[in-house]
């Protein structure tokens, strides 16, 4: 968990300060190699990186110039840092994630317009559902997700979601973003999985991607 927190923090620093990637990697290596917890160093990295990024997010989403997003991010990271579950990772990961992400979720729900309210929960549900699928699947099924036959043509993939792009271009006409985006994604499932079904010969591979789609898209959209 310590390494994960540092990774989040230094990437936030790199985003806000445009730090060179080599310098970023060296920071991660340097810190992860230390034996001590060095909690003060963690705190400094978090504060340095997240403050600028969270301020940009708050201005963009909440239309205010305050510290609500930053404060929520620190609460979430403190929650993650305090997590010391001895349970099996797959058993504890989702519960810890849902608990620790609550402060950020709450801020977004308060800031967003009504038609966007369901979007944070949709994203969280998608992450949780996908991780549950990966944890509960056979190793063979998970490995198949990296099969070379499933390499996608980005342009063809974009054509599958052109309806979603149009909705974002005319966002003022959208009544409920979650409902309308989910409708487009589910409606174009065959298109989104088309390249996999065409290029991959084995049913195991096709089934793995179909199940992933159900977990990442269909199930969260139905929640």
CB within 8 Å of 193: residues ≥ 6 apart = 206, 209, 210, 213
**pLDDT at res. 57:** 74
Distance (Å, whole) CA 199 – CA 151: 9
Domains of the chain: which residue ranges? 1-109, 112-223
- Under-50 pLDDT residues of the chain: 1-7, 10-11, 13-21, 24, 36
**pLDDT at res. 12:** 52
**pLDDT at res. 206:** 94
Greatest alpha-carbon pair distance for the chain in Å reads 55
**pLDDT at res. 25:** 53
**pLDDT at res. 1:** 44
Contact indicator for 103, 166 with CB cutoff of 8 Å: no
**pLDDT at res. 15:** 46
Among residues 167, 216, 158, the alpha carbon closest in space to that of 191 is found at 158
Q: Give the burial string for 152-184 (b: 16+ CB within 10 Å, else e).
A: eeeeeeeebbeebeebeeeeeebeebbebbbeb
Regarding pTM above 0.75, the answer is no
């Amino acid at each position: 968990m310590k390494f994960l927190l540092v990774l989040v923090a230094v990437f936030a620093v790199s985003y806000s300060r445009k730090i060179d990637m080599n310098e970023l990697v060296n920071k991660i290596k340097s810190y992860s190699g230390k034996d001590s917890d060095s909690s003060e160093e963690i705190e400094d990295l978090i504060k340095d990186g997240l403050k600028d990024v969270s301020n940009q997010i708050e201005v963009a989403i909440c239309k205010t110039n305050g510290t609500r997003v930053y404060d929520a991010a620190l609460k979430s990271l403190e929650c993650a840092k305090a997590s010391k579950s001895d349970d099996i990772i797959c058993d504890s990961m989702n519960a810890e994630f849902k608990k620790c992400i609550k402060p950020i979720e709450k801020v977004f729900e308060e800031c967003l317009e009504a038609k966007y309210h369901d979007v944070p929960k949709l994203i969280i549900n998608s992450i949780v559902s996908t991780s549950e699928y990966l944890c509960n699947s056979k190793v063979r099924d998970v490995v198949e997700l990296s099969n070379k036959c499933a390499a996608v043509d980005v342009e063809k993939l974009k054509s599958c979601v052109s309806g979603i792009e149009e909705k974002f271009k005319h966002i003022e006409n959208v009544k409920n973003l979650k409902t309308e985006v989910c409708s487009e994604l589910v409606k174009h499932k065959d298109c989104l999985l088309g390249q996999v079904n065409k290029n991959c010969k084995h049913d195991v591979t096709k089934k793995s991607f179909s199940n992933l789609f159900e977990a990442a898209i269909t199930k969260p959209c139905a929640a």
